[in-house]
Amino acid sequence: MGYLISETTREEREQIVKDSLGNIDASCDGCMAGLAEMYQDYIEGRKELREINMEFRAGYVKNDEMPEKSGCGYAQ
């Protein structure tokens, strides 16, 4: 099985994210909710995993303003 949007169904992409992140429902302590949301564009078929990961890293490389962390999640 591939990971590209063209090679997967929505259900397969959702399972890929769940398998990669573990507790995607964030039912234990709420820490995974923000991270799981980051990959929603991949699940919906709008962006490849590579694009999402590159955008996330670019914020740190360029020192762009990032959301403030609140505990283990991001403040909204």
Residue 40 domain flag: yes
* Alpha carbon separation from 37 to 4, 40, 62, 65 (Å, rounded): 18, 5, 22, 19
Q: In total, how many domains does the chain have?
A: 1
Q: Would you say residue 22 lies in a domain?
A: yes
pLDDT digits (tens, 9 = 90+) for 45-68: 999 999 998 888 776 655 555 555
Does the residue 54 lie in any domain? Answer: yes
pLDDT score of 13 more than 90: yes
Q: What is the pLDDT, as a whole number, of residue 59?
A: 64
27 within some domain: yes
Quote the pLDDT of residue 30: 54
In-domain check, residue 3: no
Quote the pLDDT of residue 28. 54
User: pTM score, two decimals?
Assistant: 0.64
Q: Answer whether residue 31 is part of any domain.
A: yes
- Residue 76 lies inside a defined structural domain of this protein: no
Q: For residue 22, give its domain range.
A: 8-61
